[in-house]
């Protein structure tokens, strides 16, 4: 009734895909499903949100749920205890809602596929339906952990309130970063603004004004698409960008001689930053000026 083998196969397959493609997965990859007992099983039903794997499942509970990027269910309805996920429209006891509510009654782990950009999802698992609220047509989703040795990994529901809230904060941070990245990278046509690298698995969305600061809002104009190396250099003020969209390398690095990688970095000194075509999506010049002052102070 709990379909442990199916759920374990689903989680293990997602582990493999994330190792190959990164933490965010394109729907084109997810559409291939996963192997289970000689057949292919879909990961999700993105049209309806709540998914049960048909005849493959013996139990009545959902295998996964999803929210498309445009819906922003997760971002808009986070609580201190978890995430509120809405029932499907229609009768409260239709089969989609029944699958969701059965996941609560049985306490089974599922996958929450959260849209980070059109046709891209970040799977968070294991997720649990912590509470059912028929009056508001919603359930409360909490998050657990996969624990154990490699060949004995299993989903664990976290009972301790402090630990559960800590895990929730981690999940929220991951999703915030993923959705911010999903907005920033397309604006830069999935390229690094400094070196033009276009391997998305090596690209990050860097904040100009840090997200921990009051003005650190998740807007494209507060972000830069940077490869991992240039993101780290920017975060540590080894590379700066001024309000005229010029890339500047720290004077200390310019004076060093430490091999071809550093020479390559120094080669971008005074070069123009590649910015989005749409003016509204380009880096905010005031934010850049403030951040550049910090770069100069630490240079």
> What pLDDT is attached to residue 77?
65
So what's the pLDDT on residue 295? 96
List average pLDDT for each run of 10 residues in the chain, which is 299 residues long.
94 96 95 95 95 95 91 55 92 96 98 95 97 96 89 87 92 92 97 97 96 84 98 97 98 87 93 98 98 92
- Rg, Å, the chain Cα set: 22
The whole-number pLDDT of residue 122 equals 97
Q: Give the predicted TM-score (pTM) of the model.
A: 0.86
Question: Residue 290: what pLDDT?
Answer: 96
Q: What is the model's pLDDT at position 74?
A: 38
3-state secondary structure of 55: helix
pLDDT at 255: 87
Helices (H), the chain: 4-21, 27-30, 73-76, 95-106, 161-187, 228-235, 251-254, 260-266, 285-298
Say what the pLDDT of residue 70 is: 65
Q: Is the peptide bond before 280 cis (omega within 30 degrees of 0)?
A: no
Q: Which domains does the chain have, with CATH numbers?
A: 4-182 (2.30.280), 188-298 (no CATH)
């Amino acid at each position: 009734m709990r379909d442990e083998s199916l759920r374990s196969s689903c989680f293990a397959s997602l582990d493999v895909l994330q190792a190959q493609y990164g933490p965010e997965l394109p729907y084109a990859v997810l559409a291939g499903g996963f192997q289970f007992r000689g057949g292919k099983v879909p990961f999700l039903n993105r049209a309806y949100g709540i998914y049960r794997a048909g005849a493959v499942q013996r139990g009545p509970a959902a295998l996964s749920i999803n929210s498309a990027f445009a819906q922003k269910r997760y971002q808009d309805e986070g609580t201190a205890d978890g995430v509120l996920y809405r029932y499907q429209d229609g009768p409260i006891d239709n089969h989609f809602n029944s699958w969701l509510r059965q996941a609560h009654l049985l306490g089974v782990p599922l996958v929450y596929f959260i849209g980070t950009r059109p046709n891209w999802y970040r799977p968070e698992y294991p997720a649990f339906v912590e509470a059912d609220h028929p009056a508001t047509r919603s359930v409360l989703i909490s998050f657990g952990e996969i624990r154990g040795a490699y060949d004995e990994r299993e989903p664990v529901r976290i009972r301790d309130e402090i630990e559960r809230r800590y895990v929730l904060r981690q999940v929220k941070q991951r999703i915030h970063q993923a959705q911010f990245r999903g907005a920033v990278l397309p604006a830069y046509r999935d390229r690094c603004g400094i070196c033009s690298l276009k391997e998305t698995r090596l690209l990050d969305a860097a904040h100009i004004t840090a997200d921990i600061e009051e003005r650190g809002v998740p807007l494209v104009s507060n972000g830069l698409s940077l490869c991992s190396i240039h993101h780290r250099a920017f975060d540590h003020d080894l590379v700066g960008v001024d309000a005229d969209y010029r890339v500047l390398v720290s004077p200390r690095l310019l004076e060093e001689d430490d091999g071809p990688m550093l020479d390559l970095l120094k080669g971008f000194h005074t070069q123009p930053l590649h910015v989005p075509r749409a003016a509204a999506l380009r880096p905010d010049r005031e934010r850049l000026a403030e951040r550049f002052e910090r770069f100069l102070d630490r240079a």
